Amino acid sequence: MTNTLNWWKGAVFYQIYPRSFFDSNGDGIGDLPGITQRLEHIAALGVEGVWICPFFTSPMKDFGYDVADYRAVDPLFGTLEDFRNLLGKAHDLGLRVIIDLVLSHTSDQHPWFTDKPEYYVWADAKPDLFGERVPPNNWVSVFGGSAWEWDEARGQYYLHNFLKEQPDLNFHNPDVQDEMLGVVRYWLEFGVDGFRLDVANFYFHDAELRDNPPRDAALGSATQFEGDDPYSAQAHIYDKSRPENLAFLRRLRGLMDEYPGTFTLGELGDDDFFARAAEYTGDGLLNTVYSPQLASGQHKDLTADMIRTPFEDLAEYPDGGWPSWAFSNHDVVRAASRWHADGDGFSHDPRCSKMLIALLGALRGSVFLYQGEELGLPEAKLAYEDLQDPWGKHLWPRWQGRDGCRTPLPWDGAQPYGGFSSGKPWLPMAQTHLPLSVAVQEDDKHSTLHFTRRYLKWRHGQAALRLGDLVFHDTDDVHVLHFTRRYKNEAIACVFNLGNTAQVFAGQALRPYDFFLGDLRADDFEDDGFWDARSFSSSSEG
């Protein structure tokens, strides 16, 4: 691996959801040894790094995002030694490793919740007009209901922005800040290359506990669920994105700078996302933030303005730092179904999947590819009795929640449970995924898997795509996206047909989901002979 400090700029990361990646011991749950066994698959894609979702000790009420011990591996996933082995092999393969840190809240099973209650946010009840006990303000949980839970033993409410089993830490307490920076240092010393910081703008709350005002309904949904929900009815100006957060992030960045070449990726959710992103990537703060703009919502027709608008909004903040983009992740409907024009939210078209890989890699920023995107996996459809996600159970039948993108990865469609495990998986193996398994696609040189490998290896040598500026150009059709990437003396014209109908652009025919990048057309990435003869040289810029 190169040791450049800014190695992450323009890099491609592969996101791993451990529970569903590969199960090495037959208990139906993916684990760290399973990741280690399959790292060659990831390295062969041509990515630079991996992001691993939480694997810490947890009661799994929110599947690892409720941490009970920040310095230990949950036995479901293995041991610290297993993670050490994973880290070593990844580095040997040239892969950087960033891990998911959930600093804003813990599990209610964390010893701190009993032993150090001052680490959490407590407030007295507020009597209503009839003298009944009510929460101290109107804040609501992302997952529904009040953000306050009554604790009978203490005689107070505690704050939880997510599940009631996920009490929020009180970052106004300096001891909490020191404790969490100690966690960061522990993993840096262990050898990780950086962190994805879960809900990084939730660390601080308004110390005065003021009510949130109403939110402008024209903004649409504030969550992945597109419908009426209490969280989207409030402007969240007091329960998150507080100015005090920046001082803590500067402390965090100061610690990271003691370990040159390490990387911070913040997850933000805010009504004014790009202003917040610019603020959080200012001098001495985060390296980049993970944008939700291209990875949200449910089934819709993909148009050029859906890609263009976020970039133009970002351009209003010229000092807004380096962006990061994803089309899919562990919290959203898979893009292969979400943007499939003919689909119902669960179908897909391999041509669309390939086009989306090419488009994601052509955008300005660092790229995050979610496990299964290299196979073009569609969203899985589950029955209510199969759901595990508490959010999905709460919203059923309006939405099945996040389980549809979390089903196990199919490694071999001819094997039981798709080769993911020898035992029954924690979520069903989607039958629609079996024909798209790794083994099937290995044998098909025109598969999405082979396309992804060719494209990402080619992209690695294109400084214009990794580091260049981006300028959009107007087109005559809402489904045709045209932009130019330029770096120094290198320029690449990028044209994408985002729809399932043929188009004509500058006298050239564009088939459904067709694209061209400079002198290369989509068909060129299907030609083995063409790519076997082509040199995948690595650009030295960056």
- Among 519, 497, 520, 521, which residue's Cα sits nearest to residue 510? 497
Q: Which two tokens stand for residue 451?
A: 């396309």
Question: Which residues are registered as beta bridge partners of 290?
Answer: 267, 324
DSSP 519: T
Q: What is the largest CA-CA distance in the chain?
A: 80
Query: What is the pLDDT at residue 101?
Result: 98
Backbone angles phi, psi at 484, to 5 degrees: -120, 135
Q: Which of 82, 108, 193, 198 is catalytic?
A: 198
- Among 518, 481, 485, which residue's Cα sits nearest to residue 498? 481
User: Cα–Cα distance between 522 and 525 in angstroms, integer?
Assistant: 6
Could you state, in order of their start, the residue ranges of all structural domains in the chain?
Answer: 111-159, 468-532
DSSP 160: -
Query: What is the pLDDT at residue 221?
Result: 72
In whole angstroms, how far apart are CA 390 and each of 61, 316, 353, 530? 8, 38, 29, 48
Q: Which two tokens stand for residue 386?
A: 């199969």
What kind and span of H or E run contains 530? helix 528-532
- DSSP per position, 207-256: TT-PPPPBPPGGG--SSSS-S--GGGGB--SSSS--THHHHHHHHHHHHH
Give, to the nearest 10 degrees, the angle between helix 174-190 and helix 80-92.
60
In whole angstroms, how far apart are CA 378 and each of 14, 17, 333, 371, 381? 17, 16, 9, 12, 9
Query: What is the pLDDT at residue 293?
Result: 87
- Among 489, 467, 474, 262, which residue's Cα sits nearest to residue 361? 467
Known catalytic membership, residue 331? no
Cβ-in-10-Å burial (0-12, 13-18, 19+) of 537 comes to exposed
Question: Which residues are registered as beta bridge partners of 57?
Answer: 69
* Distance of alpha carbon 69 from the chain centroid: 23
Q: Which of 258, 443, 474, 519 is catalytic?
A: 258
Known catalytic membership, residue 198? yes
Say if residues 42 and 95 touch (Cβ distance below 8 Å).
yes
Query: What is the pLDDT at residue 227?
Result: 59
| Helix (H/G/I), strand (E/B), else coil: 391 | helix
User: Cα–Cα distance between 129 and 133 in angstroms, integer?
Assistant: 10
Strands (E), 83-128: 96-101, 122-123, 126-127
DSSP 426: S
Say if residues 252 and 280 touch (Cβ distance below 8 Å).
no
Say if residues 38 and 438 touch (Cβ distance below 8 Å).
no
DSSP 451: H
Say if residues 93 and 85 touch (Cβ distance below 8 Å).
no
- Among 418, 442, 431, 374, which residue's Cα sits nearest to residue 23? 418
Provide the residue-wise pLDDT of the chain in tens; the chain has 542 residues. Answer: 555 889 999 999 999 999 999 999 999 999 999 999 999 999 999 999 999 999 999 999 999 999 999 999 999 999 999 999 999 999 999 999 999 999 999 999 999 999 999 999 999 998 876 778 999 999 999 988 999 999 999 999 999 999 999 999 999 999 999 999 999 999 999 999 999 999 999 999 999 999 999 998 777 776 655 556 789 999 999 999 999 999 999 999 999 999 999 999 999 999 899 999 999 999 999 999 988 889 987 778 899 999 999 999 999 998 878 999 999 999 999 999 999 877 677 889 999 999 999 999 999 999 999 999 999 999 999 999 999 998 899 889 988 999 999 999 999 999 999 999 999 999 999 999 999 999 999 999 999 999 999 999 999 999 999 999 999 999 999 999 999 999 999 999 999 999 999 999 999 999 999 999 999 999 999 876 666 666 554 443 44
209: left (phi over 0), alpha (psi -120 to 50) or beta: left
H helices of 344-462, where?
Answer: 350-362, 390-395, 438-442, 448-460
CB atoms closer than 10 angstroms to residue 191:
14
Find where tokens 């107070």 sit. Answer: 156
Intrachain domains 111-159 and 468-532 with the same fold: no
Say if residues 199 and 265 touch (Cβ distance below 8 Å).
no
| Choices 3.40.50.300, 2.60.40.10, 3.40.50.2300, 3.90.400.10: CATH for 111-159 | 3.90.400.10
Q: Which two tokens stand for residue 242?
A: 């507080």
Query: What is the pLDDT at residue 535?
Result: 55
Say if residues 1 and 536 touch (Cβ distance below 8 Å).
no
Q: Which two tokens stand for residue 421?
A: 């495990």
Query: What is the pLDDT at residue 540?
Result: 39
Alpha-carbon torsion angle 90, 86, 335, 326, nearest 10: -60
Q: Which amino acid is at 127?
A: P
Query: What is the pLDDT at residue 537?
Result: 46
Find where tokens 């960056």 sit. Answer: 542
| Choices 1.25.10.10, 2.40.160.60, 3.30.470.20, 2.60.40.1180: CATH for 468-532 | 2.60.40.1180
CB atoms closer than 10 angstroms to residue 47:
22
What kind and span of H or E run contains 517? strand 515-517
- Residue 375 CB partners (closer than 8 Å, separation 6+): 409, 410, 433, 436, 437, 438, 441, 447, 448, 449
| Helix (H/G/I), strand (E/B), else coil: 283 | coil
